[in-house]
A and B are shown apart, each in its own frame.
Chain A
Amino acid sequence: MSAEKLPESHGSEGHEVAGHGDPFADPGLPAHAPRRTDIDERAAKRAERQVSLMFVVSMLATVGFIASYVAIDPDKIVYIFPLGHVSALNFALGLTLGVALFCIGAGAVHWARTLMSDHELPAERHAIEADDDVRADVIEQFTTGAAESGFGRRKMIRNTLIGSMALVPLSGVVLLRDLGPLPEDKLDHTGWRVATEAKPLPLINMNTNKPMKAEDIAVGSLTFAKPEGLEEDDEDFQQQIAKDALMLVRIAPEDIKDNDSRELGFEGILAYSKICTHVGCPISLYEQQTHHALCPCHQSTFDLADGARVIFGPAGHPLPQLKITTNQEGFLVATGDFAEPVGPSFWERSA
């Protein structure tokens, strides 16, 4: 912006310039107009009282906050029209604290608007770049410095400097190692890995905490299971169940479309991992007529009658299926781990 277009060239009554040929000239600042409180002492007094009133209301509300904290029974429930049945204590605390904070803010704003000085103070803006001679001076200093350091001439120093600068960030990368041990093969295996053909592992019903027989699982039913030996009181129960959880469904054998899946099951009882292969949500919205299982997080849909094929959504793999059979006493058992890792994909995932 050229100097003559700046407001101070015209004073605060800049409008006259617009008349002389330049219709887009800066009109400058309008004349200062006094507020009602500036000219009327009674109005100023009234505003002062209003501001003080708000601060006093805030004080009262804070006292009310403390009083309701002490006085109101935490279990008391009251009916308040648009909210319904609410905790009296929560309502009183929220209301009084809200009023206390609001009144301070509103009082401060009202004070600033009515009573504090409102004279406009223009802060001038200048061109960002420096003068030409200043710039020439800086460039000269830089080139002198560069020449004196010999940076361009002593190439060995330059190259080793670049090398050391490039390597320094590696120490940060090494520090990342402190984030914890590497996962090793933990992602590839679940708690079912201890099961073998010779020593099968019974499936435990999550509801009853007891092993199940094949005839307990009805067609159209849904049952959740965990491996034997995993107890809710175990310290790492949540970590283990996040991989081991099973959902058991029974589908009439003629409705099962995938032969491999039928082989892995037992008389139509199929044991699928409950962990979605997208980002690992527990997935068990099972529709017993369509045999679809839906993940509530991102709507991945699996067809459990067709080897848990993904029929919709972002999941990349079918749900892993556990091979089950029955032991001599007729209880459902697993004879090994899942054939592929359960849960979401990861870099080193083999299948």
Chain B
Amino acid sequence: MKKLSARRRHPLAALVVLLLALAATGGLYAAFAPAEKAQADTSAQSLAIDEGKKLFAVGCSSCHGLNGQGSSDGPSLVGVGSAAVDFQVGTGRMPAQQPGAQVPKKKVIYTQPEIDQLAAFVASLGPGPVTPTEEQYKSTNPDDVAAGGELFRTNCSQCHNFAGKGGALTQGKYAPSLEGVDAKHIYEAMQTGPQNMPAFPDTTMPEEQKRQIVAFVRHTNEEPSPGGLALGSLGPVTEGLFGWIFGLGALIAIAIWVAAHTTKAKKS
């Protein structure tokens, strides 16, 4: 140490220090930089975002803007999260066919991997609800159906009807039927609040309760109707209409038949 400090004023000291510094920088770069570079470029996530950006530019950007910032034709997608994309594109609602009171469910035109890529791109725009995994929406506890029924009647039945058959809203909007809807899509709709449906975020309706509601809806879809014709499970309106037209109609027909076949009428 003494020797080294004694030579610190040597004419070549600055050169030695410079060389040491260069070697240290180069060594550190060699140690850290390549690993980082490889992670950023080849991970599946960033590839999906890249692919999703391309798909987005072709299929979505005309309404939602090239960077999902929104325009007069479509809302901003910053912060809607991957769950919203998976729901809207996965049920065929997006891309929308035409503007109107409500964008209906229709044929899905993207494959699931493409939807995942689009979702990855939109999720990269800002934090939002993440596409749920199967454990989140798949119920294994049979008690979930009863608990879900109670939650469904509190939160959902006012629009979607007590049996999930859907119903009318204002000015041409409607709450769609939940019959045959994928468990994942029901879960995502609650998370994200698509179109005019209010959202039910995890803060006010925890994950477990969403799973219970999904279990109830799936159960209701599969449950047979013990009373025979369910008439759409729409309640007194369809039942009354059925009674008036078919019940009373049959009685009137019988009355006419009886009157036309009395002994007096027959003897002509």
Which A positions have Cβ atoms within 8 angstroms of B? 30, 33, 35, 77, 82-87, 90-91, 109, 113, 118, 120, 205-208, 212, 215-218, 220-224, 249, 282-290, 292, 294, 296, 299, 301, 312
* Cβ contact within 8 Å between B201 and A91: no
Tell me the residues in window 241-268 of chain B with beta carbons closer than 8 Å to chain A beta carbons: 258, 261-264, 267
Within the assembled complex, what's the spacing in Å between the Cα atoms of A249 and B193? 13
* Cβ contact within 8 Å between B263 and A220: no
Within the assembled complex, what's the spacing in Å between the Cα atoms of A289 and B75? 11
B206 at the interface (CB under 8 A from A): yes
* Cβ contact within 8 Å between B228 and A285: no
Which of B155, B170, B199 has a CB less than 8 Å from the CB of A218?
B199
Tell me the residues in window 151-171 of chain B with beta carbons closer than 8 Å to chain A beta carbons: 151, 154-155, 158-159, 167, 169-170
11 new A-B contacts at CB < 8 Å, known A208-B205, A289-B195: A86-B225, A86-B226, A87-B224, A207-B205, A220-B193, A221-B200, A222-B199, A285-B159, A287-B170, A287-B173, A288-B198
B133 at the interface (CB under 8 A from A): no
Contacts of A207 in B (CB 8 A): 151, 154-155, 204-206, 209
Nearest neighbor of A113 in chain B, beta-carbon distance: B263
* Cβ contact within 8 Å between A84 and B224: yes
Within the assembled complex, what's the spacing in Å between the Cα atoms of A222 and B195? 14
Nearest neighbor of B230 in chain A, beta-carbon distance: A84
* Cβ contact within 8 Å between B203 and A218: yes
Which of A33, A218, A288 has a CB less than 8 Å from the CB of B267?
A33
Contacts of A294 in B (CB 8 A): 169-170
Within the assembled complex, what's the spacing in Å between the Cα atoms of A38 and B151? 70
How many chain B residues touch A (Cβ–Cβ < 8 Å)?
A: 36
Nearest neighbor of B173 in chain A, beta-carbon distance: A287
Contacts of A118 in B (CB 8 A): 263
Contacts of A218 in B (CB 8 A): 199, 201, 203-204
* Cβ contact within 8 Å between B196 and A289: yes
* Cβ contact within 8 Å between B197 and A312: no
Contacts of B206 in A (CB 8 A): 207-208
* Cβ contact within 8 Å between B225 and A222: no
* Cβ contact within 8 Å between A90 and B228: yes
* Cβ contact within 8 Å between A90 and B267: no
Task: With both chains docked as a complex, state the minimum distance between the C-beta of B223 and any C-beta of chain A, in angstroms.
Answer: 9
* Cβ contact within 8 Å between B170 and A224: no
* Cβ contact within 8 Å between B204 and A205: yes
Within the assembled complex, what's the spacing in Å between the Cα atoms of A205 and B229? 37
B180 at the interface (CB under 8 A from A): no
| 23 cross-chain CB contacts under 8 A | A30-B267, A35-B263, A77-B226, A83-B228, A84-B228, A86-B225, A86-B228, A87-B226, A90-B227, A91-B228, A208-B206, A208-B209, A221-B199, A222-B155, A223-B200, A283-B158, A285-B159, A285-B175, A287-B173, A287-B196, A288-B196, A296-B158, A301-B170
